[in-house]
Amino acid sequence: MERINDCISLSVQPDPSIQRSLCQIHDESGYLCFQFDLYSNDCLFDLNEQHYRLNLSISKSYFDKYGERLEIYTEQQDICCNTQSKLFEIIQCKLEGLHRKLFLESSVLFLLYQTQKNSLLFQMGCDGCQVINRFMDRDKLVKAKEFILNNLSQNITIPIIANSIGTNQCYLKKGFKEHYGQTIFEFIQEHRMIKARYLLEQHFNISEVAEEVGYSSLSSFSQAYKSFFGYSPSEHLRNFVSNN
């Protein structure tokens, strides 16, 4: 943990086990402990395909100077756009010395405020976030979908898609999920697997199919295929041949 001052500590670590963006808050013996998990595929910002866990600890004595009792809502919650933005700034922060401490302390207070605000307005959604209030042109979302479907054999990334349709990565991620009900990653994965199954049934060999749907590694393709359908490509081929 990085010690920001006598009362606040913070750690930022990549964590491949994370499967969802989520905030959890615990009240532990004189400390407030926050755990923020950022999952790359549902985060609005480009994390370069890495997932991050940020843990911060705040001594309750920090708030004595305000002369008021601090009531903390500790239920688990999704991470809103404003909170994601601040977490992304922390991950990207290259400051050093006093400037870093000042930035991190102010960021921690912002995160504390935002999580409590979100708890109070949990059923109201994230209307205060400017990100989701920005209009996303439907035509651009359609173009994004078409770009993905036409390039399933390529290495498709959020920056590449955003650049191809002329929009910001942040708005693209949010707009795509709102419009199609899936993250871009989920959409790509689903259509790669659908295409792979079709090609297998057209008598392509497994190596050719893997390449056609963007996998350079046969083992990675087989693992993804089994994870999606519940059986491996070779198992599917055997069953398909025996039934036809």
Specify the pLDDT at position 129.
53
Give the contacts of 61 (CB within 8 A, at least 6 positions apart).
7, 30
Residue type, 142: V
Global confidence as pTM: 0.60
Specify the pLDDT at position 4.
95
Domain chopping of the chain, boundaries: 2-124, 138-242
* CA–CA gap between residue 44 and residue 124 (Å, rounded): 20
pLDDT per residue as tens digits for the range 192-204: 999 999 999 888 8
12 in Cβ contact with 1 (< 8 Å): no
Specify the pLDDT at position 119.
66
Is residue 31 exposed (0-12), middle (13-18) or buried (19+ Cβ within 10 Å)? middle
Q: Which helix or strand (DSSP H or E) is residue 229 part of?
A: helix 218-229
Specify the pLDDT at position 193.
93
Which regions in the chain score pLDDT beneath 50? Answer: 122-125, 127-128, 131-133, 135
Specify the pLDDT at position 244.
67
If phi over 0 gives left and psi between -120 and 50 gives alpha, with beta otherwise, what is residue 224?
Answer: alpha
DSSP letter string over 54-116?
Answer: EEEEEEGGGGGGGTSPPP-----BPPPHHHHHHHHHHHH----HHHHHHHHHHHHHHHHHHHH
CA distances from 113 to 2, 8, 59, 82, 163 (A): 21, 15, 15, 11, 34
Specify the pLDDT at position 136.
55
pLDDT per residue as tens digits for the range 100-136: 999 999 999 999 988 887 666 544 445 445 544 454 5
- Kindly indicate whether the domain formed by 138-242 is annotated with CATH number 1.10.10.60: yes
